[in-house]
Amino acid sequence: MKTTEKRARTDTAKAAVQAAQNAALPPLEPPACVSLRPGDRPFWERIITSKARDNWTDVDLVTAAQLARAQADIEALQAVVDAEGYILDGKINPAAQMLETLVKRATALTRVLQVHAIATVGRSNDTGDAARLERQARQQPDDDLIPRLRIAK
C-alpha cells in the first residue's frame, strides 16, 4: 500500500498560480537544528530555490544545509589551491585533496536532494517541472491580471 500522497499535476492553472505564489515568497529558512555560517547563505538560497518550494521536506532542508556548507568550503579551498598550487614540494597539496573530497560530497548531496541539472532542468519528473514553473514565475514582470503574493518587508 502506498503511503505517500500523489503529487499534483504541474501542467494546470492551479500549479501555475501556486508557482507564482511560491516565487513571491522569500527562500525557505534552514531548520532550527541547523546553523549556517554567513558564507553559506548564498549557496543555501540557490539550492533552496532550485527546487519547487512544496517539494522540500524537513530532512531535505538539513541535507541542503550540509550541501551549502560544502559548497562554501569548496570556494574557500579553491582559493587556497589557486594561491598555493596543486603541487607543493613535489606532492599533491593537502588542500587540493580535501577540495576533491568536498566536490564528491557536494555532487552526491545534489543527487540525494534532486537538485542536480537532470532533476531541475528539463522534463525528467514533476519536481523538475515545478521548479521550472517557479523560475518562470520569478522572471515574469508584474502583471495586474496575475495575482502575486507580496510579503511586506
pLDDT-based confidence at residue 116 (cuts at 50, 70, 90): confident
* Mean pLDDT (whole number) for 86-100: 96
Is 10's pLDDT higher than 90?
Answer: no
Per-residue pLDDT tens for 20-59?
887 788 889 999 999 999 999 999 999 999 988 988 999 9
Q: What's phi and psi for 91, nearest 5 deg?
A: -125, 160
pLDDT-based confidence at residue 126 (cuts at 50, 70, 90): low
- CA–chain centroid gap for 30, Å, is 12
Question: Which own/partner contact pairs does 112-118 have at CB distance under 8 Å and 24+ positions apart?
Answer: 112/63, 113/47, 113/51, 113/60, 113/63, 113/64, 113/67, 114/51, 115/47, 115/50, 115/51, 115/64, 115/67
Chain-wide mean pLDDT for the chain? 84
**What is d(CA 26, CA 48) in angstroms, rounded to the nearest whole number?**
10
**What is d(CA 46, CA 65) in angstroms, rounded to the nearest whole number?**
11
Predicted pLDDT at 133: 78
* Mean pLDDT (whole number) for 78-100: 96
- Where are the chain's structural domains? 13-139
Percent of the chain with pLDDT over 90: 52
Residue with cell 538560497: 45
Contact, 80 vs 94, CB < 8 A? Answer: no
Predicted pLDDT at 136: 80
Is 148's pLDDT higher than 80?
Answer: no
**What is d(CA 79, CA 73) in angstroms, rounded to the nearest whole number?**
10
Predicted pLDDT at 3: 60
**What is d(CA 78, CA 99) in angstroms, rounded to the nearest whole number?**
7
Predicted pLDDT at 150: 59
